[in-house]
Amino acid sequence: MNKGMLATALLALLPAAHASESDALAKHNASLTAQVVEWRRHLHQHPELSNRETATAAYVAEHLRQLGLQLTTGVAHTGVVALLDSGKPGPTVMLRADMDALPVTEQVDLPFASTTKTTFRGQEVGVMHACGHDAHVAILMGVAQSLTQMKQQLNGKVLFVFQPAEEGAPEGEEGGAELMLKEGLFQRYQPDVAFGLHVTSALPVGVIGMKSGPAMASADRFVINVSGEQTHGSRPWNGADPIVASANIINAVQTLVSRQLDITKAPAVVSFGSIHGGVRSNIIPDQVELVGTIRTFDEGMRAQIHQHLPEIAANSAASLGATAATTVEVGYPVTVNDPQLSQWAMPYLAQHSSSEAVVNTGLITGAEDFSFFAQQVPGVYFFLGVTPQGQDPRHAPSNHSPKFYIDEAALPVGVNALTQLTLAQMNNPKL
């Protein structure tokens, strides 16, 4: 789809209801479409991993400087924060976009496909915006330009947060939303509400989805080190087999969700993703490492799993003469869309969704560190479909896939939606 068609698509996506307000906003933002597409393609072609988004940050900062915004760089390593102050009393609305890419080698045939390579965990890897953060940044750059031009219509302040390391900081480093808060972002700017979006291949292009309340899961990593006693494989009775103990642990842990949690309250997932132990077929090792993930939608259930997982592992290992030491690395909390703010936001989002309504996305077991911001202030985090018309989203390559593809007709829809939410909140706050 060319740039002129994108501008036309933007206007076509708007429903007849609320025509005067939506049409005015669409006309104001339609001229931005070509720029947003250009920004997104540049960012897509030059991706950077978490806490290494230096060129991305410089690209964003230059744009924000040209808009005359109050600018702070180097936040949480590479983050960029800008403030638009209308000079009139009103709420402070925070808008967030994440900037980092993934260690994925792109397999999409695009003229602006990424050919970037870097070293990740000691290996040379391709780098790709396989989760769509390039679109998030470009959209928020467009929103910043749009709202700056509409400054006279604003009441209050807009805080633009371009965040690094949403995909997780490198080992041994801090990063992301949590580090931004730790460095005092909210103490300095004191936002009243926070909005964010995420592109998704799970929805058709231009469709907006959201769920009120718990929406995305918490995500915690665990490591279980199982210790036994090494012996020859022909004489297992002379030692303590940590491999068999590990098998017992894996099976027993499945009962944690099925038998110890009240799953009528909310679902939960405990999965093992890595098992390492031994080097030969005839040697029973003395150590096995198990690594996995915990996903929940309720903080109480999350705490239960953290408590019982080490107990189950230790008791299962002990029954075979082995020991098990469990470490739970606390990650992202549950992403909760404030119910009152969500109800307020839905009509504004529906104005810009190609479905003319906000689709209920249901619970998503993926995690998002926007959750840290939403713990501090009321927040709304919504999804924007990017799968082209005529393609079934159920079969489209998912986020994080090397074949993940964005239909750029979604970009102006995102600009309009975030701009509309901000204008509405500043001129008619509900919280």
Dihedral (CA of 356, 360, 365, 370) sign? positive
Mean pLDDT, residues 243-248 taken together = 98
Query: CA separation (Å) from 422 to 93, 210, 410?
Result: 7, 17, 19
Domain ranges of the chain: 3-215+334-427, 218-332
Mean pLDDT, residues 257-283 taken together = 97
C-beta neighbour count of 340 within 10 angstroms: 12
CA–CA gap between residue 385 and residue 197 (Å, rounded): 10
The fraction of the chain above a pLDDT of 70, given in percent, is 92
pLDDT for residue 428: 78
Q: Is the pLDDT of residue 4 over 80?
A: no
Mean pLDDT, residues 25-36 taken together = 78
Mean pLDDT, residues 281-303 taken together = 97
Residue in this structure with the two tokens 């970009």, named with its chain if needed: 411
For the stretch 417-431, what's the b/e string if a residue is b when 16 or more beta carbons lie within 10 angstroms of its beta carbon?
bbbbbbbbbbeebee
Global pTM? 0.91
pLDDT for residue 31: 76
CATH class, domain 218-332, is alpha beta
Mean pLDDT, residues 270-285 taken together = 97
The tokens for 188 are 């300095």
Second CATH level (architecture) for the domain 3-215+334-427: 3-Layer(aba) Sandwich (3.40)
Length of the chain: 431
pLDDT band at 72 (very low <50, low <70, confident <90, very high): very high
Give me the active site residues, please: 332, 408
Nearest to 50 by CA among 129, 168, 137, 135: 168
Q: Is the pLDDT of residue 3 over 90?
A: no
Q: Is the pLDDT of residue 19 over 90?
A: no
CA–CA gap between residue 324 and residue 257 (Å, rounded): 20
Q: Is the pLDDT of residue 13 over 50?
A: no
273 burial via Cβ count (<10 Å: 0-12, 13-18, 19+) = exposed
Q: Is the pLDDT of residue 429 over 80?
A: no
Residue type, 290: L
Residue in this structure with the two tokens 């606390």, named with its chain if needed: 330
The fraction of the chain above a pLDDT of 90, given in percent, is 91
pLDDT for residue 423: 96
